[in-house]
């Protein structure tokens, strides 16, 4: 529908769409077909350095260019793929595609861009993620430190295999981040022993700033703890100048959210890097 098409000519999916879609959730078979027919794509959302105001990385977020329903988000893809047992195939594709994109951006003359990818718990098993990362690094020849892997706290629960995978990934030179920090079942002791470089504060805690004293206390405590552990922090869901001010005062290193940019197709990234992308709905500061 026309109102779902952004000014840059591509569609955004909105919360209403996500909710509507729960009723019409896609079947495993449809998602498998989408993967086979190359309908899955990665969008990229900038992560901005608080210190310099410049792009320091991108998070790759999966989308489905559905021939009839338009642009669909992860909720339409990931649960079906986990159910259908092919989340690992999708995960392999995401890693390979992100690495190819890093290389394409290099080839068109952009400065090195780090890309973070999300992974599912099943990928941590049987060395699958490790093989995908090794294969993609070898195929593309990109520098390993331009790839970041985002895991969630729940993956770390008593998962020896997961922990071994993290050490092996670190050994390859890949960066590791904990996503949605503060919303899972945290095991704080794992933070001191795991080869993690970054924490991402879940946007649930950012949304209440300013005003919600509990959210502010939690965000502040996470940042202070991370810094004492020599981890850097990225805040997710940064939407307003008030969020920026609060996070800047606490020394949060990176910010990601609609304040700076929505997830965008890879083809928009060169313009964004050049300062040319304007998102009419987000005030910009660059």
Q: Which stretches of the chain bind Mg ion, using CB under 5 A?
A: 118, 150, 179-180, 236
Minimal distance, residue 59 CB to Mg ion, in Å: 6
Q: Hey, what's the torsion of the CAs at 238, 242, 246, 251, to 10 degrees?
A: 60
Chain-centroid distance, C-alpha 186: 19
Nearer to ligand C2E, 113 or 201 (CB): 201
Q: Which does 45 bind (CB under 5 to 8 A by kind): ligand C2E, Mg ion, none?
A: ligand C2E
Nearer to ligand C2E, 142 or 202 (CB): 202
Quick check: 197 and 176 in contact, CB under 8 A?
Answer: yes
H helix and E strand count, the chain: 11, 10
Minimal distance, residue 82 CB to ligand C2E, in Å: 8
Minimal distance, residue 109 CB to ligand C2E, in Å: 27
Contact set with ligand C2E (CB under 6 A):
45, 61-62, 73-74, 78, 94, 118-120, 179-180, 203, 236-239, 256-258, 263
Minimal distance, residue 109 CB to Mg ion, in Å: 28
Minimal distance, residue 136 CB to ligand C2E, in Å: 14
Nearer to Mg ion, 180 or 279 (CB): 180
Here the contacts of 102-105 (C-beta below 8 Å, separation 24 or greater) are: 102/140, 102/142, 102/146, 102/147, 103/140, 103/141, 103/142, 104/266, 105/266, 105/269, 105/270
Q: Which does 55 bind (CB under 5 to 8 A by kind): Mg ion, ligand C2E, none?
A: none
Nearer to ligand C2E, 146 or 256 (CB): 256
Instruction: From residue 114, give the alpha-carbon distance in Å to each of 14, 25, 103, 111.
Output: 27, 33, 11, 10
Nearer to Mg ion, 50 or 149 (CB): 149
Q: Which does 258 bind (CB under 5 to 8 A by kind): Mg ion, ligand C2E, none?
A: ligand C2E
- How close are the terminal C-alpha atoms of the chain, in Å? 32
Quick check: 58 and 47 in contact, CB under 8 A?
Answer: yes
């Amino acid at each position: 529908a026309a109102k779902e098409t952004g000014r840059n000519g591509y569609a955004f999916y909105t919360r209403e769409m996500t909710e509507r879609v729960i009723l019409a959730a896609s079947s495993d078979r449809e998602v498998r077909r989408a993967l086979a027919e190359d309908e899955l794509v990665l969008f990229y959302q900038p992560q901005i350095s608080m210190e310099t105001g410049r792009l320091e990385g991108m998070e790759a977020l999966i989308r489905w260019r559905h021939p009839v329903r338009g642009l669909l988000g992860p909720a339409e893809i990931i649960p079906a793929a986990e159910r259908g047992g092919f989340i690992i195939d999708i995960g392999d594709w995401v890693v390979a595609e992100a690495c190819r994109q890093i290389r394409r951006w290099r080839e068109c003359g952009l400065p090195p861009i780090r890309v973070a990818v999300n992974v599912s718990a099943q990928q941590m098993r049987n060395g699958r993620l490790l093989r995908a990362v090794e294969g993609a690094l070898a195929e593309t020849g990109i520098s390993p430190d331009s790839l970041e892997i985002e895991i969630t706290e729940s993956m770390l629960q008593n998962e020896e295999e997961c922990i071994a995978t993290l050490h092996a990934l670190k050994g390859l030179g890949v960066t590791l981040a904990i996503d949605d920090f503060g919303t899972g079942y945290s095991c704080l002791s794992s933070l001191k022993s795991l080869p993690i470089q970054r924490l991402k504060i879940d946007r649930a805690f950012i949304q209440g700033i300013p005003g919600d004293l509990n959210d502010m206390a939690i965000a502040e405590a996470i940042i202070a703890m991370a810094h004492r552990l020599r981890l850097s922090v990225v805040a997710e869901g940064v939407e307003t100048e008030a969020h920026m001010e609060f996070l800047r005062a606490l020394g949060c290193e990176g910010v990601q959210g609609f304040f700076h940019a929505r997830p965008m197709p890879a083809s928009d990234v060169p313009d964004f890097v050049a300062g040319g992308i304007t998102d009419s709905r987000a005030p910009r500061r660059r």
